[in-house]
């Protein structure tokens, strides 16, 4: 009996040890995003009740106290009393102390000590206090995010010690409202999300070729005419036909609405950086006031329907500069931001090259070319801002023709000489904000899955976003200090609704929040993905349409493309698959090892949450084991260079993938621009063949025109050819076809020649 009691005592002791150890944890278990610099879990919890009081020691903390009290009220029903007590000992029980303490180093730094008795937060500024409350909200149950009363929840906060501060000064998110317009209620929600991720800048892209979205009282036609277009593109801009819906679309924000939004953002420590795009991306303004383009073109202007870059830009006349200064003065009256963004990107010089007005400005000011004219244009605008103690930000095209010493450069181009320009700018001493298209453009696809909504044709999974480091290699410590931070960009050509903005930006925003806030040593992908589980629960409670694409299956082919490995980044997820192309379900086999692709196989896979059995994604890839797999292709010299560079590795590797971003992802398609193509496949020995086929478009997503006409010839010696099939294929893609087949009577041949007239894009050449 005594032995049994002893064993029971030991069991209780072991359980208590395990329980105690569970109280010592890191931010993984608490799902804090961004990860704090230092976090220690203590024993116990602080219980939030109706009798809890918020204590401030300085009026500077009052707005933060009011924000937090208003934030917790809807879900808890509690109205916490706010009291002022200049005693900084913080010895009151059942209290949350928000204390201004000058000993805390860093304008946005804070310390947070939560115990069973009270919570004490210290910061040198109200910004630091605010970010501490964002940690506090993540320590509360996720139901705190609901805007309705929630019953049967114990509102407790785990005992922790946190010391935290941001890595970068500038931590931003961008939103383009020119292509698609969103209501003020959503703009506030977007700002809430920015603040919740401890970010402090909202880059508001307010003007575009497709719509002018800010009321300017001196120029009412900017919104009356420029705020509305006659249609919106559906399908991709590079789809055949360039179709639009022929429906008027538009809207704008009144100055009253903007003032309200600016005040809303300020309470959340978010500074709005407005962007008025110039000299390009200005067709909406030219449609409203065509005289701003006169002297550079005699065309009339309509608010642009198509996406992409327009050749129509502002004419560098004195009338234009007067207009711009008037507009910017009203903008600066509305936005107290130190920085004003003026765009400066994608401004073709075609109109200026032919314009007498532009050429005279160049001659009068000793400018050698149109690039220097753009620099002159930007520098004149910068002087307008400097007069009112504001600073200019522009996209990296403002380097063209010469950069002023005081401008801040936002780098988006991340390739070739454009990337090398970063070091040049840093050497000159200009501040830099990193927002590279390679990692921080959120209008791209998030997974390889077939069920991803339509986006631009590139692929940017969450893991790649998270991997980005704004401090580039090969720069000095001083130059690194000039990099202010980074920003995620949401361009909205294919984002027609606010819910889709949420889908594109969440949880990518969480990744940007962490890579700009957390110290480099605290960044860890596995930790981040683990914390995402809890973060998704919080986003759900906020009614945010967050993408779960991080869980979707993605595939990796071996170098010889004969072995396919599948992965999912969800730690609590497993993969189910089929090999016959059917949609997997909960009864499908679990993925255990890579597939050897030595016979025709149609792989389809989903990720499955082990706990909830929820399914994510729809990955699909086919391997066709046909006669031309691995065989050599030669192309006529006139064929597009992509055929010479990519065709050999892509067009006879046996693989057909079905994701929606073939254009730039893994080079799965060879693209030509309406050119004639002639390709010869060497089967090495004579084979009996009866059909040739090739892909012309993916089954969903981007659509390209099919070739106008195709001829299939065969030969036994490569010299004497016989035509076995030919037909007009111009209507194939319009009929929804994904491939074109050319069957013929069985014939023995070693060489197969495919001649395609005015081709656009090819997938696998299949010979059977």
pLDDT digit string, tens, across residues 336-353: 999 999 999 999 999 999
Task: Tokens for 201, please give them.
Answer: 């800048």
What is the CB-side half-sphere exposure of residue 348 using CA atoms within 13 A?
10
Query: Can you tell me the distance from the alpha carbon of 442 to that of 51, in angstroms, rounded to the nearest whole number?
Result: 44
> According to the model, what pLDDT value does residue 10 have?
46
The domain 552-623 is placed in CATH, from the list 2.40.160, 2.20.25, 1.10.3470, 2.60.40, at 2.60.40
What is the CB-side half-sphere exposure of residue 679 using CA atoms within 13 A?
30
pLDDT digit string, tens, across residues 638-651: 655 555 555 566 78
> According to the model, what pLDDT value does residue 4 have?
46
> According to the model, what pLDDT value does residue 334 have?
98
Question: pLDDT band for position 26 (50/70/90)?
Answer: very low
pLDDT digit string, tens, across residues 134-186: 999 999 999 999 999 999 999 999 999 999 999 999 999 999 999 999 999 99
DSSP 302: -
Query: Can you tell me the distance from the alpha carbon of 684 to that of 544, in angstroms, rounded to the nearest whole number?
Result: 57
Query: Can you tell me the distance from the alpha carbon of 233 to that of 245, in angstroms, rounded to the nearest whole number?
Result: 7
Average pLDDT of span 319-335:
98
Query: Can you tell me the distance from the alpha carbon of 253 to that of 188, in angstroms, rounded to the nearest whole number?
Result: 13
pLDDT digit string, tens, across residues 177-225: 999 999 999 999 999 999 999 999 999 999 999 999 999 999 999 999 9
Cβ-based neighbour number of residue 510 at 10 Å: 26
Q: Provide the whole-model pTM.
A: 0.91
Could you give the 3-state DSSP secondary structure of residue 526? helix
pLDDT digit string, tens, across residues 227-241: 999 999 877 655 555
**CB of 617 closer than 8 Å to CB of 596:** no
Backbone angles phi, psi at 574, to 5 degrees: -125, 165
Average pLDDT of span 652-673:
62
Beta strands 432-434; 408-411: pairing state: parallel
The DSSP bridge partners found for residue 679 are 635, 754
Query: Can you tell me the distance from the alpha carbon of 424 to that of 420, in angstroms, rounded to the nearest whole number?
Result: 7
> According to the model, what pLDDT value does residue 658 have?
67
Question: pLDDT band for position 106 (50/70/90)?
Answer: very high
> According to the model, what pLDDT value does residue 451 have?
83
Kindly give, in sequence order, each residue whose CB lies less than 8 Å from that of residue 700, ignoring residues fewer than 6 positions away.
450, 658, 660
Query: Can you tell me the distance from the alpha carbon of 662 to that of 748, in angstroms, rounded to the nearest whole number?
Result: 34
> According to the model, what pLDDT value does residue 700 have?
45
The DSSP bridge partners found for residue 596 are 563
Query: Can you tell me the distance from the alpha carbon of 355 to that of 377, in angstroms, rounded to the nearest whole number?
Result: 15
> According to the model, what pLDDT value does residue 732 have?
75
Task: Tokens for 363, please give them.
Answer: 């001659």
- Look over the chain and give the mean of its residue pLDDT values, rounded to a whole number: 89
pLDDT digit string, tens, across residues 526-559: 999 999 999 999 999 999 999 999 999 999 988 8
**CB of 691 closer than 8 Å to CB of 446:** no
Question: In the predicted model, is pLDDT for residue 698 greater than 90?
Answer: no
CATH code that applies to domain 170-541: 3.20.20.80
**Based on C-alpha coordinates, what's the Rg of the chain?**
30
Task: Tokens for 194, please give them.
Answer: 């920015």
Q: Which of 68-72, 200-204, 336-340, 703-707 has the lowest mean pLDDT?
A: 703-707
Q: Break the chain into its structural domains and give their ranges.
A: 19-164, 170-541, 552-623, 632-767
pLDDT digit string, tens, across residues 245-289: 899 999 999 999 999 999 999 999 999 999 999 999 999 999 999
Question: pLDDT band for position 398 (50/70/90)?
Answer: very high
- CATH level 3 topology of 632-767: Jelly Rolls (2.60.120)
Q: Which of 162-166, 513-517, 628-632 has the lowest mean pLDDT?
A: 628-632
> According to the model, what pLDDT value does residue 547 have?
97
pLDDT digit string, tens, across residues 576-627: 999 999 999 999 999 999 999 999 999 999 999 999 999 999 999 899 999 9
**CATH 3.30.56.10 is right for the domain spanning 19-164:** no
> According to the model, what pLDDT value does residue 673 have?
67
Nearest to 117 by CA among 98, 139, 136, 91: 91
Backbone angles phi, psi at 316, to 5 degrees: -80, 55
| 3-class secondary structure per residue, 684-734 | EEEEEEEEEEEECCCCCCCCCCCCCEEEEEEECCCCCCEEEEEEECCCCHH
């Amino acid at each position: 009996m005594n032995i049994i009691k002893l064993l029971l005592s030991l069991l209780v002791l072991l359980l208590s040890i395990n329980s105690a150890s569970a109280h010592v944890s890191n931010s993984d278990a608490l799902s804090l995003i961004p990860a704090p610099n230092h976090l220690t879990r203590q024993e116990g919890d602080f219980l939030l009740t109706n009798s809890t009081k918020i204590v401030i020691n300085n009026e500077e903390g009052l707005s933060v106290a009011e924000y937090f009290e208003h934030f917790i009220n809807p879900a808890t029903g509690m109205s916490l009393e706010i009291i002022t007590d200049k005693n900084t000992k913080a010895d009151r029980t059942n209290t949350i102390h928000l204390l201004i303490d000058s000993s805390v180093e860093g304008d946005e730094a804070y310390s947070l000590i939560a115990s069973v008795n009270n919570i004490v937060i210290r910061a040198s500024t109200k910004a630091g206090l605010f970010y501490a409350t964002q940690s506090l909200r993540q320590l509360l149950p996720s139901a705190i995010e609901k805007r309705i009363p929630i019953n049967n929840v114990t509102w407790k906060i785990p005992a922790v010690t946190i010391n935290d501060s941001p890595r970068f000064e500038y931590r931003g998110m961008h939103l383009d409202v020119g292509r698609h317009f969103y209501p003020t209620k959503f703009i506030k929600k977007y700002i809430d999300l920015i603040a919740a991720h401890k970010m402090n800048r909202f880059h508001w892209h307010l003007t575009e070729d497709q719509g002018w979205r800010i009321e300017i009282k001196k120029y009412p036609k900017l919104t009356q005419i420029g705020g509305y277009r006659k249609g919106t593109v559906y399908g991709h801009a590079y789809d055949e036909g360039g179709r639009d819906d022929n429906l008027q679309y538009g809207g704008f924000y009144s100055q009253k609405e903007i003032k309200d939004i600016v005040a809303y953002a300020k309470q959340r420590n978010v500074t709005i950086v407005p962007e008025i795009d110039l000299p390009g991306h200005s067709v909406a303004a030219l449609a409203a006031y065509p005289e701003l383009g006169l002297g550079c073109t005699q065309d009339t202007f309509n608010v642009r329907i198509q996406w992409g870059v327009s050749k129509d830009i502002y004419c560098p006349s004195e009338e234009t500069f007067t207009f711009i200064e008037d507009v910017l003065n009203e903008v600066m009256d509305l936005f107290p931001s130190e920085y004003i963004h003026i765009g400066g990107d994608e401004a073709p010089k075609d109109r200026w090259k032919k314009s007498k007005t532009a050429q005279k400005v160049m001659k009068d000011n000793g400018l050698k070319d149109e690039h220097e004219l753009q620099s002159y244009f930007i520098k004149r605008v910068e002087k307008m801002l400097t007069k009112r103690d504001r600073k200019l930000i522009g996209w990296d095209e403002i380097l063209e023709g010469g950069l002023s010493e005081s401008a801040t450069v936002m780098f988006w181009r991340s390739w070739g000489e454009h990337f090398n320009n970063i070091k040049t700018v840093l050497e000159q001493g200009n501040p830099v904000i990193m927002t590279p298209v390679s990692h921080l453009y959120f209008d791209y696809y998030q997974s390889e899955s077939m069920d991803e909504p339509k986006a631009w044709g590139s692929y940017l999974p969450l893991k790649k976003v998270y991997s980005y480091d704004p401090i580039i290699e090969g720069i000095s410590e001083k130059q690194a200090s000039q990099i202010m931070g980074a920003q995620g960009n949401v361009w909205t050509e294919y984002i027609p609704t606010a819910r889709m903005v949420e889908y594109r930006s969440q949880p990518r925003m969480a990744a940007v929040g962490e890579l700009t806030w957390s110290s480099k040593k605290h960044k860890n992908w596995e930790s981040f993905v683990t914390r995402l589980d809890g973060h998704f629960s919080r986003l759900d409670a906020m009614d945010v349409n967050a993408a779960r694409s991080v869980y979707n299956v993605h595939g990796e082919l071996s170098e010889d493309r004969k072995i396919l490995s599948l992965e999912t980044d969800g730690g609590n997820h497993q993969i189910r698959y089929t090999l016959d192309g059917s949609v997997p379900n909960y009864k499908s086999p679990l993925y255990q090892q890579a597939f050897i692709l030595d016979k025709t196989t149609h792989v389809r896979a989903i990720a499955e949450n082990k706990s909830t059995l929820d399914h994510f994604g729809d990955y699909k890839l086919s391997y066709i084991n046909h006669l031309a797999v691995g065989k050599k292709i030669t192309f006529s010299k006139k064929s597009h260079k992509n055929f010479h560079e990519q065709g050999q590795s892509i067009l006879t590797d046996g693989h057909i993938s079905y994701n929606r971003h073939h254009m730039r992802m893994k080079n799965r398609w060879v693209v030509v621009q309406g050119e004639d193509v002639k390709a010869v496949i060497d089967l090495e020995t004579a084979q009996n063949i009866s059909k040739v086929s090739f892909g012309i478009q993916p089954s969903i997503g981007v659509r390209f025109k099919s070739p106008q006409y195709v001829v299939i010839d065969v030969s036994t010696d490569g010299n004497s050819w016989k035509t076995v099939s030919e037909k007009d294929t111009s209507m194939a893609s319009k009929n929804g076809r994904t491939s074109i087949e050319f069957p013929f009577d069985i014939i023995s041949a070693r060489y197969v020649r495919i001649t395609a007239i005015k081709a656009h894009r090819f997938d696998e050449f299949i010979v059977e």
